[in-house]
Structure 1
Amino acid sequence: MFTLGLIVNPLAGIGGPAALKGSDGEAAAEALRDGAGLRAPERAVRALEVIFNALGGDAVSVLTCPGLMGESVARQCGFVPELVCETDPLNTRPEDTEQAARVLENKGVDLLLFVGGDGTARNICNAVSPNQPVLGVPAGVKMHSGVYAITPEAAGEVVCRLIRADLVDIRRQEVRDIDEEAFRRGRVMSRYYGELLVPEEGRFVQQVKDGGREVEALVVDEIADTLMEEMEDDTLYLVGPGSTTAGLMAAMGLDNTLLGVDLVRNGQLLAGDVSAGQIEQALGEFNGPVSIIITPIGGQGILLGRGNQQLTPAIIRRAGRENLIVVATKTKITELAGRPLMVDSNDPQLDRELAGYVPVLTGYRDRILYPIG
């Protein structure tokens, strides 16, 4: 018998009709005070009805939580669920979702079906192991993650296909969420939080939301956030010129030389607007790893040799190609119209060594591969 774990976040999506941009924190309480009705249980029923009507109750064992966190909707659809979680169904919190997910995985469910939005997906991602298959029934206000079916009925259909042993792919999909407070102020800040293992059937499971046209300043902020997360202790960073790299310095609270090179280590500015000689002196006194953070010139796509000649061939070789951190907005890359990035280091052999595809950081934990010509 197929064992289905079920978690319903009853408050998911309640803030949507109230134009609250989400249901996190006080938004859910405000929506309830304003008389908003619960949407998630009804959407859970729509998914479960597809399963029950297609297969009946004998093909599926449902493990779930009391009341509105799963029990009531399962019984409404004809299932006789086994209750394995101890939660207060009238006062559910993110911690309840995480606890329930851990319990259900420990019970060995074949699939964890959860009903909610991106906040609920984050809770599930926090709780389960990378090898636990999950599938989301979309019920939230924010639906940026790639772990949800396109409709509740589609979620039910995917479960039916799994139970029938149809050929259903399973692969890792991103969990993303936006900062609701920033969203309420008109800033869309979608963040990557992790991945979940999801059964995938192209007609039924949605893709990760594409943010659409870039807002340049916000993308620069996202690039800076990623760089700060990934910067390693006791590494010397040579931060090249440009507005994109300036965003990193601003985010770190450091003075920046917009048109020069700055030296940073362990979150501290060691020297600003340095010359090649000063860089070489610093490298001579430092035996640790070195990384160069650079951005191409807009419209030209020149990565080295224009405006950053302080980065001499010797300095570039000291860092190594693998430690070139290239950052650029997708708008800047798109404006190249397919032309590769260019290097003109004044060393033709080095230019040939630098050629090939490199990762380009284009957003929050968002990279593309792009050629250096």
Structure 2
Amino acid sequence: MFKLGIIVNPLAGLGGPAALKGSDGEAAASALAAGFEQRAGPRMQRALQVLSPLKDRIQLIAFEGAMGSDVAADWPIQLVGRPATQPSTAQDTVDAAGALRQAGCDLILFAGGDGTARDIFRALGSDLPVLGLPAGVKMHSGVYAVSPESAAEIVAAMARGEWVDVDTEEVRDIDEAAFREGRVSTRYYGELLVPQLGRYLQVTKVSGREVEELAVADIAAEVVELMEDDTLYIIGPGSTTAGIMVDLGLDNTLLGIDAVCGGRQLGKDLSAHALEKLCQEHAGEVVIIVTAIGGQGHILGRGNQQISPAVIRRAGPQNLWVVATKTKLTELDSRPLLVDTNDRELDLAMEGYVRVITGYRNSVLYRVSCSGE
């Protein structure tokens, strides 16, 4: 039997749709109070659903409750403890990782963000293979699969006894307080041992702002020229999209989501609920404008979880505008652009090719995937 330990950080990712830039401190409690739903547990369930045909090969081991057994109701499970507090804390994650190591797990699969990765590194160092199932707001580290299903594919290969390489990957996290003020300050914490299989694993985020100012200005000029007065535009985070707001002469939330219609800014740093309300009230078309995360290629599901599946469906796949410099696309080294909206059906529907605006009167078709393949 392949011994798979699972850890769920139930609060991970709550701050994303709430436009809180993270879930540390009081952010998770604020998001829960505002009615935003937990994300990590359902995403772990998606992975376990893919793994269900291998129940006869996999022994599941976990903490009791929301950190583990609650998401694996259909699985035989070995319990090795329970969280000391409700809701669970960072120390509970550390304790769970230690208990799973004591239980002799072959791999620990965890659902969370960079803060969760830090806690697991604190408990394990690089002694035991772990794999991150992306569920947080901040996922700059290189320890995550590109989606819950991709994580399951890696686990399945290991459970079947296939040849899977392991290597160390960086654990990085940002200062959330600085992030909420529009500054990205990342710190290296160490390295975890992570299984490697094809393109199922996301790479470490490339930090820093876009320096190709002329290319960004050309992209902005093209987008502004294409804009219609009666269309609602949802502008995602990033320095490339910031160039569009500069061209429009509007204030920009570099790391948040803004809304524009008829040359006017209808909202700044909007939450998922606020965006959904704007979409419901708007009678015309809705267009979503996003850029790709440098090095990773994610266009939805990393740093812009405020753009919820409901907002994406309201706009429609044809009204997703992707903007990126050719340098940024070249750095992907032929890897696809990635979507991970927390809605598997929607992710699959978005696979294919999307037009990427790369300059003035210049665009390319680029492949979109939800699995990294």
TM-score relative to the length of structure 2 = 0.55
Match of 1:58 among 56, 59, 68: 56
What residue number does 2:29 align with? 29
What residue number does 1:134 align with? 130
In the alignment, structure 1 residue 38 sits paired with structure 2 residue 34: no
Q: Distance in 1 between matches of 2:136 and 2:105?
A: 24
Partner-residue secondary structure (3-state), 1:199: strand
Instruction: Write the deviation string for residues 3-43 of structure 1: whole angstroms up to 9, x where unpaired.
Output: 01110001100010000000001101111111111011110
Partner-residue secondary structure (3-state), 1:23: coil
Q: Distance in 2 between matches of 1:61 and 1:107?
A: 11
The structural deviation recorded for 1:202 is 2.7
Rate the CA distance shift 1:72–1:89 in 2: closer, same or farther, 3 A: farther
Q: Distance in 1 between matches of 2:7 and 2:16?
A: 20
What residue number does 2:93 align with? 97
Unaligned runs of 5+ in 2: 212-373
Map residues 191-202 of structure 1 onto 2, 5 A cutoff. 191-202=187-198
In the alignment, structure 1 residue 179 sits paired with structure 2 residue 170: no
> Percent identity between the aligned chains?
56
Instruction: Write the deviation string for residues 154-192 of structure 1: whole angstroms up to 9, x where unpaired.
Output: 000000001112121100000000000000011100110
The structural deviation recorded for 1:214 is 6.3
In the alignment, structure 1 residue 159 sits paired with structure 2 residue 186: no
Instruction: Write the deviation string for residues 317-355 of structure 1: whole angstroms up to 9, x where unpaired.
Output: xxxxxxxxxxxxxxxxxxxxxxxxxxxxxxxxxxxxxxx
What residue number does 1:13 align with? 13
Coordinate RMSD, CA, aligned: 1.3
Match of 1:69 among 67, 70, 86: 67
Q: Distance in 2 between matches of 1:136 and 1:91?
A: 21
The structural deviation recorded for 1:116 is 0.2
Q: Is the 8 A contact 1:68 1:89 kept in 2?
A: no
Map residues 343-354 of structure 1 onto 2, 5 A cutoff. none
State the AA in 2 paired with 1:41: G
State the AA in 2 paired with 1:59: R
The structural deviation recorded for 1:212 is 4.1
Q: Distance in 2 between matches of 1:212 and 1:190?
A: 10
State the AA in 2 paired with 1:177: D
Q: Is the 8 A contact 1:66 1:88 kept in 2?
A: no
Q: Is the 8 A contact 1:135 1:199 kept in 2?
A: yes
State the AA in 2 paired with 1:190: T
State the AA in 1 paired with 2:77: P
Q: Distance in 1 between matches of 2:119 and 2:44?
A: 18
More relative contact order, 1 or 2 (CA 8 Å, 6+ apart): 2
Q: Distance in 2 between matches of 1:158 and 1:90?
A: 31
Q: Distance in 2 between matches of 1:178 and 1:212?
A: 12
State the AA in 2 paired with 1:94: A
The structural deviation recorded for 1:90 is 3.6
Rate the CA distance shift 1:186–1:129 in 2: closer, same or farther, 3 A: closer
Q: Distance in 2 between matches of 1:138 and 1:160?
A: 17
Q: Distance in 2 between matches of 1:61 and 1:100?
A: 16
Q: Distance in 1 between matches of 2:126 and 2:208?
A: 29
State the AA in 2 paired with 1:137: L
Q: Distance in 1 between matches of 2:60 and 2:86?
A: 21
State the AA in 2 paired with 1:66: E
Rate the CA distance shift 1:45–1:89 in 2: closer, same or farther, 3 A: farther
Q: Distance in 1 between matches of 2:126 and 2:183?
A: 31
The structural deviation recorded for 1:213 is 2.8
Rate the CA distance shift 1:29–1:102 in 2: closer, same or farther, 3 A: same
Q: Distance in 2 between matches of 1:188 and 1:214?
A: 13
Q: Distance in 1 between matches of 2:12 and 2:59?
A: 25
Q: Is the 8 A contact 1:67 1:89 kept in 2?
A: no
What residue number does 1:80 align with? 76
Map residues 230-309 of structure 1 onto 2, 5 A cutoff. none
Q: Is the 8 A contact 2:133 2:151 kept in 1?
A: yes
Q: Is the 8 A contact 1:6 1:112 kept in 2?
A: yes
Instruction: Write the deviation string for residues 244-265 of structure 1: whole angstroms up to 9, x where unpaired.
Output: xxxxxxxxxxxxxxxxxxxxxx
Rate the CA distance shift 1:89–1:203 in 2: closer, same or farther, 3 A: farther
Q: Distance in 2 between matches of 1:12 and 1:192?
A: 20
TM-score relative to the length of structure 1 = 0.55
Q: Is the 8 A contact 1:169 1:201 kept in 2?
A: yes
Map residues 308-327 of structure 1 onto 2, 5 A cutoff. none
What residue number does 1:3 align with? 3
Larger Rg, first or second structure (1 or 2): 1
Q: Distance in 1 between matches of 2:154 and 2:183?
A: 34
State the AA in 1 paired with 2:34: D
Q: Is the 8 A contact 1:138 1:151 kept in 2?
A: yes
Q: Distance in 2 between matches of 1:143 and 1:89?
A: 25
Q: Distance in 2 between matches of 1:89 and 1:70?
A: 14
Partner-residue secondary structure (3-state), 1:112: strand
Unaligned runs of 5+ in 1: 216-373
Count of aligned residue pairs for this structure pair: 211
